[in-house]
Every structure is written in C-alpha cells, then in structure tokens.
Amino acid sequence: MRIPCTLMGQTRCHAAMTRIVNLWLLCLLLIALPFAAMAQDDADDGQALLEALDVRSFQDKAEAIEAIIQSEDERANDWLQALLDGDLQRHKDDGRFVIITDNVGREWPARDALTGEDVGEISRRELSRIDINNALRSQLRSALSMVELYTGERDERLDAAEGLIGDVDDELADSLESRLDDEADADVRNRLNQALAVYRLEQGEMDAVETLSGSLNSDVRIALSRAAEGEGAVADAARAALVDIEQKLKVNRGLETLYFGLSMGSVLVLAAIGLAITFGVMGVINMAHGELIMLGAYSTWMMQQLLPGHPGLAVLLSIPVGFLVSALVGVIIERSVIQHLKGRPLETLLATFGVSLILQQLVRTVVSPLNRTVTTPEWMSGSVAINDALSLTLNRLYIMAFAVLVFVGLILIMRRTRLGLEVRAVTQNRAMARSMGIRATRVDILTFALGSGVAGLAGVALAQLTNVGPNLGQSYIIDSFMVVVFGGVGNLWGTLVAGLSLGVINQILEPWAGAVLAKILVLVFIILFIQKRPRGLFPQKGRAAEG
C-alpha cells in the first residue's frame, strides 16, 4: 500500500504507517498462536507421559511405559531407549527430564528429553535416575519393538517384528493382533505371524505348528525343538516340522558352500589368468607372479593412505594404479631377466624365484615387514540376506563380478584387437609368426605387461579379503600354477573353469579334511588328471603345442 506524504502531512502519514505495521504484527500473532498452542500441548503431553514414569511403584511404571507406546509420540523410542540404558533422568531442582549423552566423570552432558536441545553439562548430584527392574527391562525391549512397529520405516519394522519372535506374552499378543491388521508390508506381516505363532505354540495350539513349518528362523527352530520334547499331537507335528526345516537347511548350507567356493575360485581365476597368458605365449615359469599380485594389493593400501577418509574412491582408483604398477614391474623383469633366458625354463624358474625374494625384501625395507589392513568401503560391507539361513557377503559378490569383468575384458582383447591376434599367432607357432612379419619380441613385452597387470588386479581384489603383507603372493603362486595346468596352458576359458572348479572343490573338502589335507587331495587329483589329459581341460592348438 502506497501512502502519499507531503511536507504538511508527515505526522498523519507516520500514524498511518504505524497502524499498518501494527495490523501486520497482529495478523502474524494470530497465525502463530495455533502453532504455539500445539507446541505447548505437545510439551504438556510429553511432560505428563514422563511424569508417570517418575513413581516408586514398578507396576505404575509398567503402565506408564504402555501409555508411551499407545501415544505414538515420535519421541517415544528415544525415551524408552534412554530409560532402558539408564540415561533418562530428572533434574532435582526444576523437575526437567533430561537424557544423558555421556556418563563419564562428575559433570554429564545432557539434552532436554522433550525438545532435544542441548542443556550443557549437569552435575550428577543434581540428577535423579528413574530406576527399573528386570521385568521392566524385558517390557522395554518388547516396547521398543512395538514403537518401531508403529513409527519405523519398513526395514526398522521388519527388524522389530523379528526381535519379537520368542518374546511375546499375553499382553503383547493382543497388541500384535491389532497391529497385524494395520500392517501392509507382506514380510513384516509374516514376521508378526511367526511371533504370534511361537506364542501360541507355547500355549499348545496345533495351528501354530502349521504356521511355523518351513521357517528357517533360529528362534522358530528353538521354539519347535522345545515343543518337540513333549508328547502328544503338537509334539509329533513339531518333530515333523523340524525334519522338513532340517532338509531346507542342508540345501541352504550347500548353496552357501557353493557361493564361498565360487568366490574363492574367482580369486584363483584372477590370480592365475595373468600367469596363463605369459606361460602360454612365452613358456616362462614366472615364480615372481605372486609378488606382482602382492604389489597390486600394496597399491590399494597406498591409495588409501593418499586418500584418507575416502576408502571407496581409493579402491576404485587402485584398479588402474595396481594394473599399471604391476605391469611396469613386469616389463622391467622381462627386459632385465627373462629375455636373456628364453628357451631355458629351469634357469628362468630359478631367476624369477630370486626376483620374488628381492621384491619381498624390497617391500619389507621400504614399507614394513608387518601386515597392513585395507579398509573395506561401506558399499562393499555387509551382506545380502536371501533368507534366514543364507546370506551373501557383499565383498565376495563384488570380487566375483570384478573377476567376470576382467575375464570378459581379456577375451575381448584376445579376440578383437591386433595384439590379441598376434598373441594367438605367437602362441600357436612362434617361428611361423615371425616369418609373417610379427615382431615376437614386442609381443612378448606387451604380453608379459598384460599378464603382470592382471596379477595386480588380483592383488586389488585380494586386499578386500585379507591383510596385505610381503608374503601375500606366496599363498597363491602354487594354486595359480595348478589352475593353469589343470585348465590347459594359455587357454583363458580353461583357466576360468579350472579356477572355479578348484575353488568349489577346496571349499567342499576343507570342513572335514582341513585346509592342508584339502590342498594335498586337490594336488593328487590334478596329478591323476594330468596322467589322463596331459594338456589339461582345454589344450592348446597349433604346431607348437603338438611339438
């Protein structure tokens, strides 16, 4: 609103402006009053709920806890958790309820239980704790689950429902019945049904056994085992349900063994596939291949030292860095040692073994003889739950996917690039390839660099499964040679099949034979297999292979 002002009417203009400002302030006050009243009501309701806890009678406290649950107040979970932990206390002077955030020392930092605001440090002598007994602690644990069932997100409600299995009593059963009708998520409803069924099984109801039949939840199995110890129709039904569950558990254990075997096999594939390339093309027994794997693992650790606080980014950057570091060291080994020993496999074996010792000592001197730990990124931590008896760890899942990507990349290089064509030509017949104008020496350098770089990638993956140390590569060099020989020298598909097969076989044998005996049995199996098929599963093709 525009008010014209003249020199003669300044006083009148000033009064008009004052009235407009007052009018606006009045409007803002009228708008703010309802919100202030609502905030006051919320504070009063919360104060009343907490006041009911500050009594001597434990029975009255139990009723107060139940009232907090029924209030569906968004602060209820915080209050109940603080009460369970002994952190919900009351100021003796002004009667305020506070939640202690750190109870070390004489002055305790706290926050207001109603508003959540920080109230600074309070002397512990000025506070009075609200005491609870064991019965109330049990009630609080169930109550926290109930609060999450009403106010939590889907995953929180699922965890809360699972936590109630085996802890349902008469009073809680009625609350669960009403909550079951309001729950929309099928998985949460299934958990609530199981929690109620366990309670009903304890009451001797036959229908509960049918509901629990087939469940792989450990608390359900415990409840069925207790019921099976008795006599009568319910006990017979519980024993039959346990037999069915045990069969499902065996299947899931088998799937878990297969998963761990494939993940272990993926590591073997990554460790051996670079060796398969260099061994197949150059016929070199490179005993320093394990140290190239070790350098890739140290590259991952070094990247995390350069990027503290960013383990995920460090792992991603360590993939090209680990490849380049190991590839560069591989070229140095090839140019300084291997090129002078071509056609002399025994001397090559001894020389590369000496190189492996030099690399190990170099790492001990430059870095440390102690093992180093690589931090696993958050997105690689945890597991994917398939069911109650089977979960897949994410780090192994990522390593399996990484091994597939590396394998596909190598296949594309070998099938779609000129380098791959020349490598295949040299592998099949080196003399004929030279006569066709292929520079075999250049192919040897690039092939050795490629195989060494892939070994570095294997080290990047291994850093997520084990500690990084100077002896890391020694644990995989023998297994790598077994994979190469078993699969067929120089054949990528043979390396893939052999690596995965040996990983699964090892995982099956280890539980009952032990790690050392399992490796011995695998070695005996490979020796017997080579007696029948000297060239492995997928033998080389070409005149050189025949010779």
Would you write out the chain's pLDDT as a tens digit for each of its 547 residues? 444 444 445 555 555 555 554 555 555 444 544 444 444 444 457 888 888 888 888 888 888 888 887 777 778 878 888 888 888 888 888 888 999 888 787 888 988 888 888 888 888 888 888 888 888 887 777 777 777 777 668 888 888 888 888 878 776 777 777 777 778 888 888 888 888 888 888 888 888 888 888 888 888 899 899 888 888 888 899 999 999 999 999 999 999 999 999 998 998 999 898 888 887 777 778 889 999 999 999 999 999 999 988 888 999 999 999 999 999 999 999 899 888 887 787 888 889 999 999 999 999 999 888 889 888 888 888 888 888 888 899 999 999 999 999 999 999 988 888 888 888 787 777 788 888 888 888 888 888 899 999 999 999 999 988 889 998 888 888 888 888 888 887 788 889 999 999 999 988 888 888 878 888 888 888 888 888 887 777 776 554 444 4
CB 93 within 8 A of CB 84: no
Angstrom distance (rounded) from CA 322 to CA 316: 10
Nearest 5 degrees, angle CA 194-CA 198-CA 204? 135
DSSP E strand stretches across 40-117: 88-91, 97-100, 107-112
Domain range for 19: 11-49
Per the domain annotation, does 201 fall within a domain? no
Contacts of 243 (CB under 8 A, 6+ apart): none
CB 495 within 8 A of CB 276: yes
Per the domain annotation, does 227 fall within a domain? no
C-alpha distances out from residue 380 to 117, 266, 423, 533, Å = 36, 16, 36, 40
Per the domain annotation, does 328 fall within a domain? yes
CB 426 within 8 A of CB 266: no
Q: What is the dihedral of CA 29, 30, 36, 37, to 10 degrees?
A: 150
Per the domain annotation, does 364 fall within a domain? yes
Per the domain annotation, does 146 fall within a domain? no
Q: What is the pTM of this model?
A: 0.73
Long-range residue pairs from 204-211, CB within 8 A, at least 24 positions apart, any chain: 204/234, 205/234, 206/233, 206/234, 206/237, 209/234, 209/237, 209/238, 209/241, 210/237
Output the domain CATH number for residue 321.
1.10.3470
Per the domain annotation, does 238 fall within a domain? no
Per the domain annotation, does 156 fall within a domain? no
CB 114 within 8 A of CB 90: no
**Domains: count for the chain:** 2
Per the domain annotation, does 103 fall within a domain? no
Contacts of 166 (CB under 8 A, 6+ apart): 195, 198, 219, 222, 223
Angstrom distance (rounded) from CA 493 to CA 155: 42
DSSP codes of every residue in 483-512:
HHHHH-TT-HHHHHHHHHHHHHHHHHHHHH
Angstrom distance (rounded) from CA 520 to CA 201: 50
